[in-house]
Structure 1
Amino acid sequence: MEITVGILAGGKSTRMGINKAFLPFRETSFIETIAEECEDFSKIILSVNDLETYKNIGYELVQDEKSGFGPLEGVYQILKKADTKFALILAADMPYINKNFLNKFCSCLDNPVLLRNDQGEMPGCIVLRADNMLEPLCSLYSRTTLPFLKEMREQEEHKLRMLYERVYTRYIDIESLGYTKQIITNINTQEEYKKIIEAN
C-alpha cells in the first residue's frame, strides 16, 4: 500500500520497567513482530528515543526534537519523514496486530468518495474506535496535519486527541471491520506480558 507505517518505540515503558520494543515474542521481539506484519506497506519508520539503541534494526529512524512530548512528537517526526500522503501510526506494544487487520483498516483509503466531507475534503485523520474508545496509536494521519501538529507543539499541547478537533476527522469502528479490541491489545506491565507469553 502507498502508506508509510510509523511505529512509536520511544516511550519510557515506566510500568514495564524495561524497553517494551525488544521484549521477546514468538521467536523475535515485539517491534520485529509488528514490523513483519507491515511488509505490505511502502515504508516503515520507527520513532525512537535513542538512535544508537536501534541503529542495527534495519528500518528508517526518527528521533524526538522536543523531549517529554509524548506520541504527538513521534507522529510529527514520522509525518515529516514520510513520502506518502498518509501514515499509519502504531504503538510498539501491540503484538497481536496482523497484516489482514491492518490492510482492511487501511483499505478505507481505496474509496475516497466515502471519506470526503460536504466540502469535498479528505480527512486529516482516520481514527480507529474500539468499544467507543478512540485508539490514536492505531490510526491514519495525513501529512496535511503537519501545520496543525507544529502549531500544537509550539503551544505546548501534548494530546493527539486535540488534533481531531482541529482537522476533519473520520472515525471507523473496529467492529465494522469484523474485529474486536483484542487485536490491538497493548502490553504495559510484567503481569500482562507474562499472560501473553503463556498464551503463545
Structure 2
Amino acid sequence: MNWIAKSVLVVLGSVSAVGGVFIGKQFSSRETAKKTISEVLGKSLIDPKITSYSTKWDYRKDKLKKAKEEDLVPSLAGLKSKNNSLTGEDIRNWCEVNVKGFEGDDEGKKLKNAASYCTFNIKDKMTGTPIEENGSWDSAKQKLKGIQSGTPLSQKMQSVKALLEQNPNPQEDALKQWCLEAYDKQFMDDQDQDLRDANSYCV
C-alpha cells in the first residue's frame, strides 16, 4: 500500500471516529431533552398548593380505589393498597412529587397516571352545574332535540341527537351516557369541543 492510500485510510478513519463521537453526542443530547410530566400536561394540571381543591383530590382518591393495580406505577399502587386509610391528601402529595418526573418514566405509565389523577377534568371546568347521573335529563334532551337543521352542532352532538330521535327505538339515555363519560375526560383548554358541548347540553 503506497503512502497516498495510507493517508486516505487515516483521514477516513479519523472522520469516522469523529463522526461517531458527534452522532453519539447528538443522540445523548436528544435523550436528555425529555420533557417533564408537568411540561407535558401543562395547564391541565391541578395546582397542589391551592388548598380549596380538597374536594377534587377526594374525587381522585375514590377514582384510584376503583383502578386496576396493573395500570398503576408501584408508588401509586402502594397508595391504593392503603384502602380505607387512603386520603385525598395522599393523592395531592403523590402528584406534587411525581409530575417532576419525565414523560418516559416507567415506560410512560407514570405520565398516564398523572394525566388520570393530577389533572382537571371537564366536569371541574364546566361553567354551569353538571347534571348528575340520577338527576333529571329531560330539559337537556329537549334542548338538544330542539336544535334546528342547519344550526352548527359538533359531530358528537349530531350523533347523540340522532340517537335521541331514532325511530323506532330512540335511545333515551344517549345524552346522559355521553355527558357522564365526558365529565371524566382530561381538560385540555377552554376551546375543547367536549367542554363546550358539556356546558351546553349537560347542565
- Alignment TM-score > 0.5, same fold: no
**TM-score, structure 1 length as denominator?**
0.29
**TM-score, structure 2 length as denominator?**
0.29
Larger radius of gyration: 2
Greater per-residue strand proportion: 1
Greater per-residue helix proportion: 2
